Amino acid sequence: MFTGIVTDLGQIAGIKAHNDVRTLTIATRYEASSIEIGASISCSGVCLTVTSVQEGGPLGALFTVDAAPETLAITTAAVWTEGRRLNLERALAMGAELGGHLVTGHVDAAIPVVSREDLGETSRYVFEAPDALARFIAAKGSVCLDGTSLTVNTVEGGAFSCLLIPHTLAVTTWGDVGRGDRVNLEVDLMARYAARLAEFPRGE
């Protein structure tokens, strides 16, 4: 479980494909000694399992993860290349501050950026969600996009907008994101369960 609060800006240092799996080596500023084999790390919104760790690399430490076929089919991980920056977040510890909202790291879809409007120090992004997911997105609600917890400003059909503040633009990959790019969307967990419960009639 995560919160959508990015704690490091990592970078893909290597990619190896074998059969239908991509093994990614990711450079990070996290201390190598603090990363356990089998730990979950959100990589631009995708929950991936650490398979190896070592000291060194361009940022201080390196860890590897495997992206399986399901992940490659649903997320942007299929098109990640060496040098690409990633929003990283460690798994939420029990009792830790919940700064964003509850995020599982199970991406629902890779969706397009319809537009980006830079408004001085802030930037307004408009995204397009597929019909099956649009019903989970509401104005003033939360979404996780590329591993970042964001507040929805406006909703019109499948289109919705988010306004990013200077801090978010500076410490995440969002400064690199523009019109036509695709980002990983995870809808709000509570909205998903509320909609599921509404499908069943109330017992007498």
How many Å apart are CA 139 and CA 28, to the nearest integer?
A: 34
| Same domain flag for 56 and 118 | no
Q: Of 58, 90, 122, at which residue does a domain stop?
A: 90
Structure pTM?
A: 0.93
Domain containing residue 125: 109-196
Contact predicate 136/144, CB 8 Å = no
DSSP assignment of 47-62 equals EEEEEEEEE-SSSSEE
To the query of whether residue 162 is one of the catalytic residues in this protein, the response is no
| Same domain flag for 191 and 115 | yes
Residue 104 counted as domain residue: no
Q: For every one of its 204 residues, what pLDDT tens digit does the chain have, with 9 covering 90 and above? A: 899 999 999 999 999 999 999 999 999 999 999 999 999 999 999 999 999 999 999 999 999 999 999 999 999 999 999 999 999 999 987 667 667 788 999 999 999 999 999 999 999 999 999 999 999 999 999 999 999 999 999 999 999 999 999 999 999 999 999 999 999 999 988 888 788 778 877 665
Contact predicate 20/26, CB 8 Å = no
Instruction: Check residue 195 and give its pLDDT.
Output: 80
Residue 115 counted as domain residue: yes
To the query of whether residue 75 is one of the catalytic residues in this protein, the response is no
| Same domain flag for 80 and 113 | no
Q: Choose among 60, 66, 48: nearest CA to 9.
A: 60
| Same domain flag for 59 and 119 | no
| Same domain flag for 116 and 56 | no
How many Å apart are CA 6 and CA 163, to the nearest integer?
A: 17
To the query of whether residue 47 is one of the catalytic residues in this protein, the response is yes
Q: Determine which one of 49, 52, 122, 154 is catalytic.
A: 49
Give the count of domains, the chain.
2
Q: Determine which one of 34, 51, 52, 68 is catalytic.
A: 68
| Same domain flag for 14 and 68 | yes
